[in-house]
Amino acid sequence: MKKLSSIALLGALLGTGIYAADSFRIKPVNEKIFLEQVRLLKYGNLEEKLSAIGNLEDYRSALAVKPLALALKGIAVENYPNSEYKYLTYSIPELDDKPEIKYYASRALGTLAHEDAILPLIEEYNRQEKNIKEEDSPFLKENEPSPLVTKKHRMSMVFAVGEMLRSLGELPPRKDTYETLKTALSHKNYYVRSSAAEAYMKLGRAVNVKTLEEALEKEQHPYAKASILSSIVGILKTEDKHFMALIKLLNDKDPVIRTRAAVGLGEAGIRTAETPLRQTLLVEDYSVVREALKLSILKITSLVLPEFTADQMK
């Protein structure tokens, strides 16, 4: 894969909650400012809409869920009569199916972690995934090199659909969530399968490991394999065969795979992964992989609590 894909990959992994923000909490919202963000979502240009989504995400308020869900849909309520989800009376005047809006709206809904976001995410995923082909790439060639995905980047719908699945992993687990993710694990596009695996890891339930192991046995794409391995290791957090297989991928010839493995090890937070990560850093010459290695080492070491003697604890 090209260098640009690796750069976009690291941005995707870092920007979608691999190193997660704090969880949902209720916060008071300035009504005037809130309504202005809703207005921008309806009538603003792309830059204004993305800014409004970011502001609503920062509120960490349940009040932001409905306008964000509507932005995710990108359509007026009356044009979507079959949805079980009940929106507020306002609506976006025109169809706005830009992947950038769907990506950031999905990420914001995941950050809010409110149950009301589950159904709109599933519905929009189901609407979009049927148009994604096996060969479609999540990365666009014209993106400027950057260590993080920013609002200046154009995005593909594959990338946005992946974020819908990952965001489902941030929300309270439900039967329809698991049904959607299990189906997505068999999608024809490797990035959709990878994103479903990441969502399973975010849900963090050991009962899901069997489903992931079955998917791993059938998986042929190296990136999807790395993602599934990362998810299994992230859930179990044990030094088993999956952990060793993920460490082995740090030496893969493809920098995209090395990056994915490094991030997966950092996310799992297993203390013994620090040594192979540091050893790899000594010989790794690809800047994006080096950045992933450093961040994962930092994450692992920051999780280690200092040891205190009995006297110090008095």
**What's the pLDDT at 79?**
38
Architecture of domain 210-301: Alpha Horseshoe (1.25)
**What's the pLDDT at 304?**
56
The CATH class, in words, for 1-203 is: mainly alpha
- The 3 state secondary structure assigned to the chain is CCHHHHHHHHHHHHHCCCCCCCCCCCCCCCHHHHHHHHHHHHHCCHHHHHHHHHHHHHHCCHHHHHHHHHHHHCCCHHHCCCCCCCCCCCCCCCCCCCHHHHHHHHHHHHHHCCHHHHHHHHHHHHHHHCCCCCCCCCCCCCCCCCCCCCCCCCCCHHHHHHHHHHHHCCCCCCHHHHHHHHHHCCCCCHHHHHHHHHHHHHHCCHHHHHHHHHHHHHCCCHHHHHHHHHHHHHHHCCCCHHHHHHHHHHHCCCHHHHHHHHHHHHHHCCHHHHHHHHHHHHHCCCHHHHHHHHHHHHHHHHCCCCCCCCCCCC
**What's the pLDDT at 229?**
98
pLDDT along the chain (314 residues), means of 10: 55 52 53 88 88 92 92 62 46 69 96 96 97 90 46 80 98 96 98 98 94 97 97 97 98 95 96 97 95 95 58 42
Q: Where are the domains of the chain?
A: 1-203, 210-301
Question: pTM to 2 decimals?
Answer: 0.82
**What's the pLDDT at 59?**
85
**What's the pLDDT at 23?**
43
